[in-house]
């Protein structure tokens, strides 16, 4: 039986909005040929081959009109599973995730993130796919002042996937968990979610305090658990109060304190370790727990 697909299914796999597919059909005649199922038109494997070519040529920099002209000459057929494979290299994943974020397509964002992390690990996924998408989302919000719901929606979906990943930890290798927090009024917490998930892949357990952690919470946790390492995130300068690391209670053995995020000012952090990236933070923490 021939595989026939809806506009929504094809759009998700190709990483474009359904409206874009409709425009391509109307403007360039590159749509579902003549398959009808109920009142909805469906794409067949031959249509998919044309669309996949169109998408690839646009990503390569060709204009939609030129890409459509070439794609319409394609005679082959392509199966849905094949498209997923074809579009799994990194620029396409970024693009697909960005489109899915804009379309508020939760299930596509979740499954793409899960697959990517499963295949590449948290660090590579974060650096190669997730950060570029976050930067794109932040940029469009900065330029237009619109789409804040997209930022929230994508962040929450990403947090869910990273939490899931962190909870897969089996037998932690560190008896005393690492302490991880975003300081003061800091609402940005995606980086620390990524850190906790990346450490879980190494079976390193964290006490995760999340966004807007007050100093009293850090103080109590340090006294109670004497963590081997403490990671403090500040995205914004106004939240990077040095008293968060200067006034921590003294415990034995002394924890390794790491500061991450663009908020920390160099002048406040002399003699402190500021992490340059996720990989470095994971390596330092791994060393601090003696693994
Ligand atoms: C998602 C997001 C939000 C979400 C946060 C959700 C959540 N739970 O975290 C929400 C919607 C809540 C939010 C709120 C705000 N946001 Co915001 N947000 C973002 C966005 C899109 C992603 C943030 C993020 O996690 N980035 C990924 C990080 C990690 O990238 P990075 O900081 O550049 O990190 C690199 C280095 O720091 C380095 N690194 C070094 N050490 C380490 C250690 C580890 C472990 C890791 C992982 C990385 C790392 O590697 C990183 C790359 O991996 C950014 C855009 C952007 N470009 O980042 C804006 C952005 C950070 N937000 C911004 C702003 C202004 C705000 C608000 C003030 C807006 C407002 N007016 O309300 C509020 C902040 C309120 C507050 N008190 O904190 C600005 C900040 C500008 C500035 N520098 O001052 C940005 C840059 C958007 C923009 N382009 O203008 N935001």
How high is the pLDDT of residue 15? 67
Quote the CA–CA distance of 100 and 133 in Å, as a whole number.
11
Question: What's the rounded mean pLDDT across residues 263-274?
Answer: 92
Measured CA angle at 261 (ends 259, 267), to 5 deg: 65
Residue 275 pLDDT greater than 80, yes or no:
yes
Task: Say if residues 120 and 45 touch (Cβ distance below 8 Å).
Answer: no
Q: Are 191 and 241 in contact (CB under 8 A)?
A: no
Tell which one of 165, 188, 213 to mutate to probe ligand 1, the residue whose CB is within 8 A of the most ligand atoms.
188
Q: Going by CA atoms, what residue is nearest to atom 60 of ligand 1?
A: 138
33 pLDDT band, cuts 50/70/90, is: confident
Coil vs helix vs strand at 149:
helix
- In sequence order, the 6+-apart residues with CB closer than 8 A to the CB of 28 are 64, 65, 68, 69, 72
pTM of this structure: 0.78
Predicted pLDDT of residue 89: 54
Whether omega for the bond prior to residue 75 falls within 30 degrees of 0, making it cis, is no
Classify 173 as helix, strand or coil: coil
Residue 34, pLDDT score: 67
Please tell me the residue having the least CA distance from ligand 1 atom 73.
187
The residues, ordered by sequence, that sit 6+ positions from 153 with a Cβ below 8 Å of its Cβ are 101, 104, 106
- 1: confidence class by pLDDT, cuts 50, 70, 90: very low
2, pLDDT greater than 80: no
The predicted pLDDT at position 86 comes to: 47
**Spacing, Cα 2 to ligand 1 middle (Å):** 46
Kindly list the protein residues whose Cβ atom lies closer than 6 A to any atom of ligand 1: 127, 131, 134-135, 137-139, 142, 151-152, 155, 185-191, 194-195, 211, 235-236, 260-262, 275-278, 281
Cα(289)–Cα(89) distance, rounded to whole angstroms?
35
The answer to whether the Cα torsion of 34, 47, 82, 94 is positive or negative is negative
Structural domains of the chain, ranges and CATH numbers in brackets: 7-87 (1.10.1660.10), 95-164 (1.10.1240.10), 170-288 (3.40.50.280)
Reported for 60-65, long-range contacts at CB under 8 A and 24+ positions apart, including other chains, are: 64/24, 64/27, 64/28, 65/28
> Is the pLDDT confidence value at 35 over 70?
no
pLDDT score for 19 = 83
* Gap from CA of 51 to ligand 1 centroid (Å): 35
> What does 224-258 look like in DSSP terms, one character per residue?
HH--SEEEEE-SSGGG--THHHHSPPP-SSPPEEE
pLDDT tens, 128-176?
889 889 988 988 888 899 989 999 999 999 999 999 999 999 899 999 9
Query: How many A from CA of 208 to the centre of ligand 1?
Result: 18
CA of 135 to the centre of ligand 1 (A): 8
Question: 11: how many CB neighbours lie within 10 A of its CB?
Answer: 25
Beta bridge partners of 181: 210, 232
Distance from the CA of 247 to the center of ligand 1, in angstroms?
26
Q: What is the pLDDT of residues 77-113, one digit of tens each?
A: 766 555 544 444 567 788 889 999 999 999 999 999 9
**Proportion of the chain above pLDDT 70, given as a percent:** 90
Q: Averaged over 197-202, what is the pLDDT? A: 98
Nearest to 59 by CA among 23, 81, 89, 28: 89
User: Measured between alpha carbons, how far is 81 from 9 in angstroms, rounded to an integer?
Assistant: 12
Going from the Cα of 112 to the center of ligand 1, the distance in angstroms, rounded, reads: 22
CA-192 nearest atom, ligand 1: 45
Closest CA to 8 of 78, 71, 72, 80: 80
Residue of 132, 191, 264, 269 best suited for mutating to test ligand 1, as the one with most atoms within 8 Å of CB? 191
Partners of 5 in the beta sheet?
43
> For the segment 206-265, what is each residue's pLDDT rounded down to a tens digit?
999 999 999 999 999 999 999 999 999 999 999 999 999 999 999 999 999 999 999 999
Q: Strand, helix or coil at 270?
A: coil
Kindly give the number of the ligand 1 atom that is closest to the alpha carbon of 237.
84
* Separation of CA 171 and ligand 1 centre (Å): 32
| Nearest atom (ligand 1) to Cα of 276 | 40
């Amino acid at each position: 039986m021939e595989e026939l697909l809806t506009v929504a299914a094809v759009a998700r796999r190709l990483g474009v909005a359904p409206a874009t597919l409709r425009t391509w059909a109307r403007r360039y005649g590159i749509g579902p040929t003549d398959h009808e199922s109920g009142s909805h038109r469906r794409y067949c494997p031959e249509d998919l081959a044309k669309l996949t070519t169109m998408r690839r040529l646009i990503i390569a920099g060709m204009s939609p009109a030129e890409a459509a002209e070439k794609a319409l000459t394609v005679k082959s057929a392509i199966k849905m599973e094949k498209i997923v494979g074809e579009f799994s290299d990194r620029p396409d994943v970024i693009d697909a995730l960005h489109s899915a974020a804009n379309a508020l397509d939760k299930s596509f964002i979740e499954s793409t993130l899960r697959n990517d992390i499963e295949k590449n690990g948290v660090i590579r996924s974060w650096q190669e796919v997730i950060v570029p998408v976050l930067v794109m989302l932040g940029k469009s919000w900065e330029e237009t002042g619109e789409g804040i719901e997209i930022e929230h929606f994508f962040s929450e979906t990403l947090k869910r996937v990273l939490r899931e990943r962190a909870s897969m930890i089996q037998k932690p290798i560190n008896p005393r968990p690492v302490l991880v927090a975003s300081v003061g009024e800091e609402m940005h917490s995606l980086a620390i979610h990524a850190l906790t998930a990346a450490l879980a892949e190494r079976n390193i357990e964290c006490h995760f305090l999340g966004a807007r952690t007050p100093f009293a919470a850090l103080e109590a946790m340090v006294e109670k658990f004497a963590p081997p390492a403490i990671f403090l995130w500040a995205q914004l300068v106004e939240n990077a109060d040095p008293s968060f690391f200067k006034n921590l209670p003294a415990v034995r053995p002394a924890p390794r304190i790491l500061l991450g995020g663009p908020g920390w000012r160099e002048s406040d952090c002399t003699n402190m370790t500021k992490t340059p990236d996720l990989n470095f933070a994971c390596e330092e923490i791994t060393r601090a727990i003696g693994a």
